[in-house]
Amino acid sequence: MTRPADLPAMTDILDAADRLAGHAVVTPLLSNDRLDAETGARIFVKAECLQRTGSFKFRGAFNRISRLTDAEKQCGILAYSSGNHAQGVAAAARINGTTAKILMPEDAPRSKVEGVLFWGGEVVTYDRATESREAMGQAIADAEGRILVPPYEDPFIIAGQGTAGLEAAEQLEVLGATPDLVVCCAGGGGLIAGVGLAMRDAFPGVEIWAAEPEGFDDHRRSLASGQRETNERLTGSICDAIITPTPGALTWALNSTQLTGGAAISDDDALDAMAAAWRHLKIVVEPGGVAALAAVLSGKIDIAGKTVCVLATGGNVDRAVFERALARA
């Protein structure tokens, strides 16, 4: 990629995979007979909740930060995130010998704040309902000379996230399984853009579906209108990890051509899917990270008789929220 605004290609995902080797976890692709029987489909779940720092975000953060020059590392990093990108950036920063200051919403789950602090990141809070993290982040980066590492609007971030799709495709091929659908959560769209790119390369006919919270289904509505739509609210869903105002401009350039459709899930759908992931797959998944599985299990996407690859993207959930999910079981 010669220009920062260039869209990543499959070669960039392969390059990111080489860079991440030995640093990122090759997460398992899980299945369960009872889950298949209950849904009437063959379901494979890519457990990115078991990734380093507890979410896929480490992939993109490491791919971006590992490319900084020594002079840039001396400046330090500025990032903004509800928590998973924050932890990925903090970890990648420490591993690559630099520092990170992270803007996080005041209502971020405590487990995510603690994860950032563990990796030596400095946390600055903001009110997501009244303050713009983008504007605040740029102002801090400019004032302190820090390198801004955005959560999704960066080709290296997208390529790094795409390695989750590359791994899943390779794992499916080993099993002799060809997916009819890939279902992935969508916030700013970086993960689903990279995953869609990798999956379409391996399985050209596969459908790529976005899963989003009700009231924050900007990708689904954007696909219907043909242009980037904006959500009316900035808060109000248990799925904190995937609440964003609108699809990213860079990510939408890929997602507008790759996505088949979108599904909106309720908070109850997310809690039920968290319980199902615990019961059937023995994994802990946070509300936003289980959105794709929730869309499948709640019937928001037709999967009958199909082979489906679902991404479980994060497991950083506070105890009280997880207890709510288990109570529904």
Among 109, 129, 148, the domain-final residue is 148
What average pLDDT does this structure show over 275-302?
Answer: 98
SS3 of residue 64 by DSSP:
helix
Beta strands (DSSP E) in 121-268 are 122-126, 147-148, 181-185, 207-213, 261-265
What average pLDDT does this structure show over 126-147?
Answer: 92
- Give the closest residue to 152 by CA, choosing from 89, 100, 210, 97: 89
What average pLDDT does this structure show over 105-129?
Answer: 93
Same domain assignment for residues 166 and 18: yes
Q: Considering the domain boundaries, does residue 187 fall inside one?
A: yes
Same domain assignment for residues 164 and 287: yes
Q: Is the predicted pLDDT of residue 5 greater than 80, yes or no?
A: no
Q: How do residues 252-270 score in pLDDT, each as one tens digit? A: 999 999 999 999 999 999 9
Same domain assignment for residues 114 and 226: no
Average pLDDT score, the chain: 95
pLDDT over 70 percentage in the chain? 98
Same domain assignment for residues 166 and 107: no
Residue 269 has a pLDDT of 98
Residue 128 has a pLDDT of 85
Same domain assignment for residues 324 and 228: yes
Residue 206 has a pLDDT of 98
Q: Considering the domain boundaries, does residue 143 fall inside one?
A: yes
Same domain assignment for residues 140 and 167: no
Residue 4 has a pLDDT of 38
pLDDT-derived band at 1, boundaries 50, 70, 90 = very low
Q: Considering the domain boundaries, does residue 3 fall inside one?
A: no
Q: How do residues 39-53 score in pLDDT, each as one tens digit? A: 999 999 999 999 999
Q: How do residues 169-205 score in pLDDT, each as one tens digit? A: 999 999 999 999 999 999 999 999 999 999 999 999 9
Q: Considering the domain boundaries, does residue 317 fall inside one?
A: yes
Q: How do residues 8-34 score in pLDDT, each as one tens digit? A: 999 999 999 999 999 999 999 999 999
Tell me the backbone φ, ψ of residue 135, rounded to 5 degrees: -65, -45
Among 114, 148, 182, the domain-final residue is 148
Q: Considering the domain boundaries, does residue 2 fall inside one?
A: no
Same domain assignment for residues 166 and 71: no
Domain count, the chain: 2
Q: Considering the domain boundaries, does residue 95 fall inside one?
A: yes
pTM of the model as a whole: 0.95
Same domain assignment for residues 16 and 160: yes
What average pLDDT does this structure show over 225-243?
Answer: 94
Same domain assignment for residues 125 and 143: yes
Among 88, 117, 148, the domain-final residue is 148
Q: How do residues 62-115 score in pLDDT, each as one tens digit? A: 999 999 999 999 999 999 998 899 999 999 999 999 999 999 999 888 999 999
Same domain assignment for residues 36 and 175: yes
Q: Considering the domain boundaries, does residue 99 fall inside one?
A: yes
Residue 80 near residue 61, CB atoms below 8 Å: no
Which positions ≥6 away from 238 have C-beta within 8 Å? Answer: 213, 267, 270, 271, 287, 321
Same domain assignment for residues 34 and 140: no
Same domain assignment for residues 170 and 29: yes
Which positions ≥6 away from 37 have C-beta within 8 Å? Answer: none
Q: Is the predicted pLDDT of residue 2 greater than 60, yes or no?
A: no
Distance, in Å, from the CA atom of 57 to the CA atom of 76, rounded to the nearest integer, reads 19
Q: Considering the domain boundaries, does residue 5 fall inside one?
A: no
Q: What CATH number corresponds to the domain at position 324? A: 3.40.50.1100
The domain of 280 spans 10-55+155-328
